[in-house]
Amino acid sequence: MKNFLKKIFGITEMENAIAETIKLKEQAERSLKLVEEAAEESKRQSQLSPKELATEKKESYIAVLNTHVNKDNVRNGFFELDWNEYFVLELRNNGYQGETEEEVVDQWFQELCRNVGAEANINMERRGTGFVNRALRDDGKAEFY
């Protein structure tokens, strides 16, 4: 009898509408929470450096931070490189050896420079006009000059 009266007075339809509204409200709240989380993650990622982003994604990263040229002899200078552990791992997996990350990256960089010179038909034998030194800095980076 109770259900019959509810049906006659349209209460069942109102209850169904209320239940559907509550369901839609809960879905909207979940969607809003996901959007807020995505916005927060996007903001966090925008504050990371390219190296930090690559490292977080477990991707290889290498960059030239600066190029220095000796003002007295432009044939001499050095590059300041930055990399992450995944770049070194990639190099090691491709046959580069060394006890330290700097040694591994140095081997790769030297080979890269030789290949660039060879492609430009430059005699890659040392001309005796330059030198290469490696200095480990206090911040853990190495300078090659």
pLDDT in tens, 38-96: 999 889 888 999 999 999 999 999 999 999 998 998 888 888 999 999 999 999 999 99
Alpha-carbon span 48 to 57, nearest angstrom: 12
pLDDT at 119: 83
Tokens representing 122 are: 């430059």
Please state the separation of Cα 131 from the chain's center in Å: 33
57 close to 48: Cβ distance less than 8 angstroms:
no
Over 70: is that where the pLDDT of 133 sits? Answer: no
Over 90: is that where the pLDDT of 2 sits? Answer: no
Q: What is the DSSP string of 1-64?
A: -HHHHHHHTTHHHHHHHHHHHHHHHHHHHHHHHHHHHHHHHHHHHHTS-HHHHHHHTT---EEE
Residues 6+ apart with CB under 8 A from 22: none
Residue 116 or 105, more confident: 105
Band the pLDDT of 3: cuts 50, 70, 90. confident
Tokens representing 109 are: 């960089």
Residue 122 or 38, more confident: 38
Tokens representing 68 are: 């220095």
pLDDT at 6: 65
pTM of the model: 0.63
DSSP state of 119: H
pLDDT at 124: 66
pLDDT at 27: 94
pLDDT at 132: 53
